[in-house]
């Protein structure tokens, strides 16, 4: 069973998904995807959500981002009910969707043109340049997206998601399309970004190593309709290096999560 605390809105929780259920209407009839789902992410916490394909993980991110409303239950951000998209949420997806006609710098600055900001033009540009430097893209500001590798484009997309200093960063399989080496490099970049400027994060991933390397908590969803099957708090080991993935504790954690995913899949198959 999930080790979710009983209280509804813990003081330190920035994101509270509170008893959320949702059913999509499809051509072949109703498709229940979420069933009384409760997840809490503390301020400056980082939770990874894993689970069988099609169980409803992206639906959870769309609800947190305010892109849709659940049939029942409530999503709270900072104690406010989420009913529409908010500028305090940044998102990055598997496909970086950068605009080819804009330079990398101008792509990163895009949210600052849309979201009201106290920064003047020079400060906005400084902010974008600082972020690009932090992720190792100094010198590429004037390039077009197509001139960059996949990993570099994803770095730029992370900068764009963070440029307006959102409280919440939602990452929906952002590193899924990258090769293993580039992916590990971006994991380290994520830690750098978080150390520099703490945010509250939700990561959807299929990669259990990625989940335990990046997150403070890994939440395993059951098969559809998804509910929390298991959640695991990861110990705070301070600054992480890739060596953390090869300790006996990490192997043990991976095995626990693999077992839970297997149970989730078996539950889903049994329900079909």
Q: Using CB under 6 A as the criterion, which residues of the chain lie in contact with ligand ADP when the complex forms?
A: 24, 26, 31, 33, 53-59
The Cβ of residue 11 has, within 10 Å, a number of other Cβ atoms equal to 8
How many residues comprise the chain?
A: 272
Which residue, 37 or 169, is less far from ligand ADP as judged by CB? Answer: 37
**Cβ 62 to ligand ADP shortest distance, Å:** 7
Whole-angstrom Cα distance, residue 234 to residue 104? 35
| Shortest spacing between CB 41 and ligand ADP, in angstroms | 17
Torsion of CA 258, 38, 72, 93, to 10 degrees: -60
Q: Closest distance between ligand ADP and the C-beta of residue 67, in Å?
A: 10
CB of 189 or CB of 222, closer to ligand ADP: 222
Instruction: Give min distance, CB of 202 to ligand ADP, in A.
Output: 12
* List of residues 6+ apart from 157 with CB closer than 8 A: 92, 93, 96, 97, 98, 174
3-state secondary structure of 21: strand
Give the integer Cα–Cα distance in Å for 200 and 194.
9
What residues contact 199, with CB distance under 8 A and at least 6 apart? 44, 90, 162, 166, 167, 168, 169
Tell me whether residue 19 or residue 42 sits nearer to ligand ADP (CB atom): 19
> Which residue's CB is nearer to ligand ADP, number 28 or number 84?
28
The three-state secondary structure class of 174 is coil
DSSP state of 28: T
- In the bound state with ligand ADP, the residue whose beta carbon lies nearer, of 58 and 182, is 58
Smallest gap from residue 61 Cβ to ligand ADP (A)? 8
Contact 46, 201 (CB under 8 A): yes
Shortest gap between Cβ of 27 and ligand ADP (angstroms)? Answer: 9
Choice between 63 and 109, CB closer to ligand ADP: 63
């Amino acid at each position: 069973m999930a080790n979710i605390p009983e209280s509804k809105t813990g003081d330190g929780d920035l994101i509270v998904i509170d008893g959320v259920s949702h059913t999509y209407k499809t051509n072949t009839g109703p498709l229940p995807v979420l069933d009384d789902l409760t997840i809490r992410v503390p301020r400056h916490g980082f939770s990874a959500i894993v689970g069988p394909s099609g169980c409803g993980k992206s639906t959870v991110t769309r609800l947190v981002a305010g892109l849709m409303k659940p049939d029942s239950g409530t999503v709270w951000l900072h104690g406010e009910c989420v009913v529409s998209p908010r500028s305090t949420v940044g998102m990055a997806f598997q496909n970086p969707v950068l605009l080819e006609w804009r330079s990398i710098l101008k792509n990163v600055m895009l949210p600052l043109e849309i979201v009201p900001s106290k920064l003047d033009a020079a400060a906005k540009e400084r902010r974008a340049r600082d972020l690009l430097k932090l992720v190792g893209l100094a010198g590429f500001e004037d390039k077009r997206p197509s001139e960059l590798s996949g990993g570099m484009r994803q770095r730029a997309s992370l900068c764009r998601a963070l440029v307006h200093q959102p409280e919440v960063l939602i990452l929906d399989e952002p590193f899924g399309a990258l090769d293993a080496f580039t992916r590990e490099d971006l994991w380290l970049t994520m830690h750098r970004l978080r150390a520099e400027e703490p945010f509250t994060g939700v990561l959807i991933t299929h990669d259990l190593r990625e989940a335990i390397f990046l997150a403070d908590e890994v939440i395993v969803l059951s098969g559809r309709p998804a509910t929390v099957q298991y959640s695991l708090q990861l110990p705070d080991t301070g600054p992480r290096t890739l060596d953390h993935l090869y300790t006996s504790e990490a192997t043990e954690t991976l095995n626990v999560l693999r077992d839970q995913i297997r149970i989730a899949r078996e539950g889903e198959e049994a329900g079909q």
